[in-house]
Structure 1
Amino acid sequence: MYLYNVTLILEDAAAEEWLQWMQDVHIPEVMATGLFVSNRLLKVVDSPNEGVTYCAQYVVETLEQYNKYQEEFAPALQAVLNERYKNRFVAYRSLMEFVA
């Protein structure tokens, strides 16, 4: 099992709208791909960064499923995010493997 983590640092002015959009639109679209088994959205409480920091996390069972998501779905979904919140956020993505 793997955890796909997307950390986003948003401008304060965009954070509330982004949060609503994530919950109502983006996360349901990601989950509708059928490739992830669960998800969660967290707010970083002690972030050293300016703005508001969130982590969107998605659990996927295999690397093949993750790779399929990256190839077939991620570019279009990320393009919507990039256009909607252009110059208002920074994102960092990582893939982690469960070890225990």
Structure 2
Amino acid sequence: MNSRMFLYNVSIIIEDSVHQSLFDWIKQELLSNAHPNLKLLKMLYSPHEGQTYCLQIMLEDEEAIESIKNGIIQDLQEHIVVNFREKAFIFDSVMQYIPHQ
């Protein structure tokens, strides 16, 4: 593995009342043409009310992260603002893999 690999994570916290609608949109609209390495995960035993999902992708450089942010993550953010204001929110994090050998 490249020593400069990054994991980009976007957590999505959704109120139960709109959960299914946003989840369906993510699967149909966001992931249908997304980067093939982008994964959707559901957080089990979340400390938050509602449902928590994560979009995660492993990338080789910070420019690729910015490209994802300016593409599908911006689309997600805009969709949430228009359709789910105050019922869903997202936050992101970037982690760098640390070689252990």
- Measured against the shorter chain, the TM-score band is 0.7 to 0.9
Structure 2: segments with no counterpart, 5+ residues: none
Task: Quote the residue 1:93 is aligned against.
Answer: 92
Pairing of 1:32-51 with structure 2 (within 5 A): 38-51=37-50
Report the alpha carbon displacement of residue 75 of structure 1 after superposing the two structures with TM: 7.1
TM-score normalised to structure 2 length: 0.77
Aligned-residue sequence identity (percent) comes to 27
Could you report, residue by residue, the CA deviation over 1:38-60 in whole angstroms, capped at 9, with x for unpaired residues? 11111111111111111111222
Q: Which range is displaced more, 11-20 or 81-90?
A: 81-90
The whole-number CA distance in structure 1 between the counterparts of 2:20 and 2:80 is 14
Task: Find the structure with the greater CA-based Rg.
Answer: 2
Secondary structure of 1:28's counterpart equals: coil
Gaps of at least 5 residues in structure 1 are 32-36
Provide closer, same or farther for how the CA distance between residues 2 and 24 of structure 1 changes in structure 2, counting only shifts above 3 A.
same
Q: Which residue of 17, 20, 27 corresponds with 2:21?
A: 17
Distance between the aligned counterparts of 2:93 and 2:40, measured in 1? 15
Superposition RMSD in Å: 2.0
Match of 2:78 in 1: 79
> What TM-score results when the alignment is normalised by the length of structure 1?
0.77
Bigger strand share: 1
